[in-house]
Every structure is written in structure tokens, then in C-alpha cells.
């Protein structure tokens, strides 16, 4: 597949030129207006701006690393982080010390700058009417609105209060629905999440003619030109991604009935996102699809992925610098079950002999450079939808049956329907989402404060969920 879209340098609108604070813009210059007109007067120009928004999502400041591979998983105690490790301050919740402050600043600033770029894109779509046909315009707007909701929601999950408690009525974060140079008020978390749902609902309506509904993901081959209106729709915020995000948001809100409804909508068409095969998980040695890309409802492509892997997980990294779990902790997570595809495929003792313990291979590169799943980081998978359904079912035994669907697709035997559903759900989240950043959010949503200490072979640590807004934000309030 041709990856030219990855290389596009997004010439967005004047709103893309943003300083360190997400609310301060450079002065508007006459040539900016010319660039804006040129971009939004052609179909290719509009498409390049939208592609640029996805490139922003895939940056290392956001989902290319911080919110998937490193910072969020370190906060969740995934790895052994001795005092000598350069990222130890993150694992000890030293939020006012470097490098934690810098990483949180990057997440905040890049998220809000991308949100403002999304808003500028939507405003210019309305300003330059007639360039796109109505269906394409609706799809583009739907994707953009879904992206705005997606980013706002993850900002809430990271920087906002513990929603499951009475903190849901406390002031949380600002929500931006236009590109104006202004400081928006901090909203109560329950009002804020209402705006997330509103954006997703509008996006769902706009995406009602999404090609994925009739034709599925429509994956391409290595030599194809990609039309993202028709192909590889799981690399775009498609119709089913929006429904899946609604299931995620409603569960976070505590509305299990509605979360279950949306989860079942996805489960009804689950064949569009087929489970990985045992051949891929157990037999394929040179070019395994370790991210289970066929199961991905939405994900991104980061061209810097293998550089990030080399700097974070490569077995050649010194013991005090690598991101790797203590062996006993890793074995506990996977219950020492080598039949689990996630354990067997992604965790190995290096054959070079440089490490005596298993290291993380999920994002290691493969031999065949034409494989279309290279550079992929999943952000929403079908497995999560089954977990949402399992947690949301009013009858626990029905929930266990959803869990067993995932387990069977991971090479595991069925659980008895009498097991404690919450205990098993926590185990599944610990196994499933390595390198995807979801475990910290799960702990926070459930208000699980005491978790296994990643830097010790036994004992727990108390997670500090009071992640502060960066100084670049609080200075202006």
C-alpha cells in the first residue's frame, strides 16, 4: 500500500500556527488567508488538511507514544522503573518534576492545538461550500467532530476528576467548539462529558453513509492507492468507531444500559473486525501481526513507531533504561499461561542473549516491509467492546459469556459463569492493552487506587489520579 498520506505536511489554516499555550495564536498575516483559500478551494486541499489532523493524532506527543507506548502505561505500573530510570518520576507520580511535567505539557498542548485545528477545519468546511459533494462533506465533518470528542474525552480521562465519585460535578477542563482566541471556562465533568456525547451523536449522524457499513473496512494491498473514503476505514474515525467510542464514554459516565446498547450494536457486526488467527499468533515467526490489526475498529499509523520501539523496548537497551516488567509480575498478569496469544507472541527472551528476561515485541518491526499493518497502533479494538458489554450486562453470567468470546480468541479456555466478573475484567484489561494506554484509564474509572507496584516483585502502590493541568494552562486562569 502506498503510504504517501503519512508524509503529508499538513498545511492547515491560520489556526495551526500555535504557541506553547493552546489559546495563543500568532498574528494573522495576509499570506495565511491565501493559503487557507488555496487549501479549501480544492478537494485535494481539503483532504490534505484532514490528513494533517490524523498526523497530529499520530505524533509522539499524543497517540504515537505518550498516550500509548510510554507515559500512560508507566502511570499504570506496567514496568519496572528503578530510581535510576530516566522516567522514574512518572512511575512515582511526581507530577511537578521533570520529565513528568514536560510530558503532561506535551499531551495537553498538542491535544488542544489539534482540537483548535479541528475546529478551524470545520469552520472552513462551512465557509468554502460546494468544493466537496454532500456525502464526502458529511463524512469529513463526521470524522472531524469524532476527533474533537475523542481528544476531549481522553483529556478528561487523564486530567479530569475520578468521575465515578461525586467529583463528577466539580470543575474539570475547558471544552473548545470553535477556533477563537479565547480562554474557555472550566466545565463540571458531567457537563463536559455531555458535550463529548453531543459531538459523537452528531458525528454518528453525519457518518450514516460511511462506506464501512456496506463494504466493511476494505483493506488494501501493499501496492494499492488508498482512498480513505472507501478503504482502510479503521484508520479513520468511521461510523463503527464512533459507536464504539459512545460505548466507552457511556460506561465511563456510569450509564451501563446505554453503553451496552452501543456495544451490542458493534457486536452484531463483529465479523467486520475478525479476530486474529491462531496461525498468526502461534505459527508466524517472521511477520506476525502482533497488534491484531484485523480486530482494530480505529487506530493510527506512526512512521516513527520503530524508532520509539528502539528507544523504549529494544532488548539492547540497558537494564536500568528499558521498559520491561519484572518477570514475576509479567507471569502473574498472564497467569503463566503460554497458550495466551498476547503472552506467547509479544513477550520473548531475546535470542541474542542480551537479556535473561522477557522483553516487549508488540511494536518491533517485521521482515516483510510491505505488510500493511506496519506502523499501526490500535486505539479501539473489538475486544474492548466485548469487555464493555461484559461489564454492562445486568446479569453477571451473561457478562462472563462475553469475556469468554475474547478468551477463546486469545487461545484460552472458558471461565465458569460463576466467577467474579469484576476480578476477571481487571485481569483481562491487564493482559489485553499493553502498549495501548488503556489500563490507567480503567483503573481510574473504577477508582482502583491500590495496584501492583511495577517496580517491586510484590506489594501494591497507591495511584495518584490527581494529574494537574500544566502551568501553561493555569497561568492564564
Q: Where are the domains of the chain?
A: 4-474
411-421 pLDDT tens trace:
999 999 999 99
The C-alpha atoms of residue 226 and residue 135 are separated, in whole angstroms, by 18
Query: Count of alpha carbons within 13 Å of 283, Cβ hemisphere only?
Result: 5
Cα separation, 394 vs 257, in Å, equals: 8
Nine-digit cell string for 159: 486530567
Q: Is the pLDDT of residue 223 over 80?
A: no
For residue 79, the model assigns a pLDDT of 98
Q: If you average pLDDT over residues 136-149, what whole number do you get?
A: 98
pLDDT band for position 400 (cuts 50, 70, 90): very high
Rounded to an integer, what is the distance from CA 134 to the centroid of its chain? 29
The pLDDT assigned to 304 comes to 96
Contact 357, 349 (CB under 8 A): yes
Pick the closest to residue 115 from 145, 143, 70, 85 (CA basis): 145
Q: Can you tell me the mean pLDDT for 276-292? A: 95
Task: Give me the mean pLDDT over the 237-260 stretch.
Answer: 98
DSSP string, 149-204: HHHHHHHHHHHS--TTSGGGGSB------S--S--PPPPBHHHHHHHHHHHHHHHH
Chain segment 253-265, per-residue pLDDT in tens = 999 999 999 999 9
Residue 33: the pLDDT is 57
For residue 31, pLDDT beyond 80: no
What's the pLDDT band for 147 if we cut at 50, 70, 90? very high
pLDDT at position 159 over 90: yes
What is residue 9's predicted lDDT score, i.e. its pLDDT?
Answer: 34
Question: What is residue 273's predicted lDDT score, i.e. its pLDDT?
Answer: 98
Q: What pLDDT is stored for residue 302 in this prediction? A: 97
Buried/exposed 105-132: b ≥16 CB within 10 Å, e otherwise = bbbbbbbbbbbbbbbbbbebbeebeebb
Instruction: Please state the φ and ψ torsions of residue 348, each to the nearest 5 degrees.
Output: -145, 150
In this structure, of 7-11, 132-136, 154-158, 338-342, the range with the lowest mean pLDDT score is: 7-11
Residue 1 pLDDT: 38
Phi, psi of 313 (to 5 degrees): -120, -10
Q: Measured between alpha carbons, how far is 440 from 448 in angstroms, rounded to an integer?
A: 10
Give 32's pLDDT tier (boundaries 50, 70, 90): low
Question: How far is Cα 331 from Cα 91, in angstroms, rounded to an integer?
Answer: 20
Rounded CA separation 464/93 (Å): 6
Q: Is the peptide bond before 471 cis (omega within 30 degrees of 0)?
A: no
Residue 149: the pLDDT is: 98
Residue 35 pLDDT exceeds 80: no
CA dihedral 362, 365, 371, 375 (to 10 degrees): 70
2 or 226: which leads in pLDDT: 226
pLDDT of res. 230? 94
pLDDT reading at 16 higher than 90: no
Residue 14 has pLDDT above 60, yes or no: no
Comparing 19 with 438, which gets the higher pLDDT? 438
Q: What is the mean pLDDT of the chain?
A: 92
Checking if the pLDDT of 17 tops 60, the result is: no
DSSP track, 294-348: GGEEEEEE-TTHHHHHHHHT-TTS-TTTS----HHHHHHHTTT-TT-HHHHHHEE
- The DSSP element (H or E) to which 377 belongs, if any, is strand 376-381
CATH 3.40.50.2300 fits 4-474, yes or no: no
What is the rounded radius of gyration, in angstroms, for the C-alpha atoms of the chain? 22
Can you give the pLDDT at residue 38? 84
Is pLDDT of 336 > 80? yes
Q: Average the pLDDT over each of 25-39, 71-85, 355-369 and give the range with the smallest value.
A: 25-39
Q: Is the pLDDT of residue 34 over 80?
A: no
The model's confidence at residue 148, banded by pLDDT at 50, 70 and 90, is: very high
* pLDDT mean over 218-241: 91
How does 232-260 read in b/e, with b if 16+ C-beta sit within 10 Å? bbbbbbbbbbbbbbbbbbbbbbeebebbb
3-state secondary structure at position 462: strand
Task: Average the pLDDT over 421-433 and give the result.
Answer: 98
% pLDDT > 70, the chain: 93
pLDDT (mean) for 437-451: 97
Amino acid at each position: 500500500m502506498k503510504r504517501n498520506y503519512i508524509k503529508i505536511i499538513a498545511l492547515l489554516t491560520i489556526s495551526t500556527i500555535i504557541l506553547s499555550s493552546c489559546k495563543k495564536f500568532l498574528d494573522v498575516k495576509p499570506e495565511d488567508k491565501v493559503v487557507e483559500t488555496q487549501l479549501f478551494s480544492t478537494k485535494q486541499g481539503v483532504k490534505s488538511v484532514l490528513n494533517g489532523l490524523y498526523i497530529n493524532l499520530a505524533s509522539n506527543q499524543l497517540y504515537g507514544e505518550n498516550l500509548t507506548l510510554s507515559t500512560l502505561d508507566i502511570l499504570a505500573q506496567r514496568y519496572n522503573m528503578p530510581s535510576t530510570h530516566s522516567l522514574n518520576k512518572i512511575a512515582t507520580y511526581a507530577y511537578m518534576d521533570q520529565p513528568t511535567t514536560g510530558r503532561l505539557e506535551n499531551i495537553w498542548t498538542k491535544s488542544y492545538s489539534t482540537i483548535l485545528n479541528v475546529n478551524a477545519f470545520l469552520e472552513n468546511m462551512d465557509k468554502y461550500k460546494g468544493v466537496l459533494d454532500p456525502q464526502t462533506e458529511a463524512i469529513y465533518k463526521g470524522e472531524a467532530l469524532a476527533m474533537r470528542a475523542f481528544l476531549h474525552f481522553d483529556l478528561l480521562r487523564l486530567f479530569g476528576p475520578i468521575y465515578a465519585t461525586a467529583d463528577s460535578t466539580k470543575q474539570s477542563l475547558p471544552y473548545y467548539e470553535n477556533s477563537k482566541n479565547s480562554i474557555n471556562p472550566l466545565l463540571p465533568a458531567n457537563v463536559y462529558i455531555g458535550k463529548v456525547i453531543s459531538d459523537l451523536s452528531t458525528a454518528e449522524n453525519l457518518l450514516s453513509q460511511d462506506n464501512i457499513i456496506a463494504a466493511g473496512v476494505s483493506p488494501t494491498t501493499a501496492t494499492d492507492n488508498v482512498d480513505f473514503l472507501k478503504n482502510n476505514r479503521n484508520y479513520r474515525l468511521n461510523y463503527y468507531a464512533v459507536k464504539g467510542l459512545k460505548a466507552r464514554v457511556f460506561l465511563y459516565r456510569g450509564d451501563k444500559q446505554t453503553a451496552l446498547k452501543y456495544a451490542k450494536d458493534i457486536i452484531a457486526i463483529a465479523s467486520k473486525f475478525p479476530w486474529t488467527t491462531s496461525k498468526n499468533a502461534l505459527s508466524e515467526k517472521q511477520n506476525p501481526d502482533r497488534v491484531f490489526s484485523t480486530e482494530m475498529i480505529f487506530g493510527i499509523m506512526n512512521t516513527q513507531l520503530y524508532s520509539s520501539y528502539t528507544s523504549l523496548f529494544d532488548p539492547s537497551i540497558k537494564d536500568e533504561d528499558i521498559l520491561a516488567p519484572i518477570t514475576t509480575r509479567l507471569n502473574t498478569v498472564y497467569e503463566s499461561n503460554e497458550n495466551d496469544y498476547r503472552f506467547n507472541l509479544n513477550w520473548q527472551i531475546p535470542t541474542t542473549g542480551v537479556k535473561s528476561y522477557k522483553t516487549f515485541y508488540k511494536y518491533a518491526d517485521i521482515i516483510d516491509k510491505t505488510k500493511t499493518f506496519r506502523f499501526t497502533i490500535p486505539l479501539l479494538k473489538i475486544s474492548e467492546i466485548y469487555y464493555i458489554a461484559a461489564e454492562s450486562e445486568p446479569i453477571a453470567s451473561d457478562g462472563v459469556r462475553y469475556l469468554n468470546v475474547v478468551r477463546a480468541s486469545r487461545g484460552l479456555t472458558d471461565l465458569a459463569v460463576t466467577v467474579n466478573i469484576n476480578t476477571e475484567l481487571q485481569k483481562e484489561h491487564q493482559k489485553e492493552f499493553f502498549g495501548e494506554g488503556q489500563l490507567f484509564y480503567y483503573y481510574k474509572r473504577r477508582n482502583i487506587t491500590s495496584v501492583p507496584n511495577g517496580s517491586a516483585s510484590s506489594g501494591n502502590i497507591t495511584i495518584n489520579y490527581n494529574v494537574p493541568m500544566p502551568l501553561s494552562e493555569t497561568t492564564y486562569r
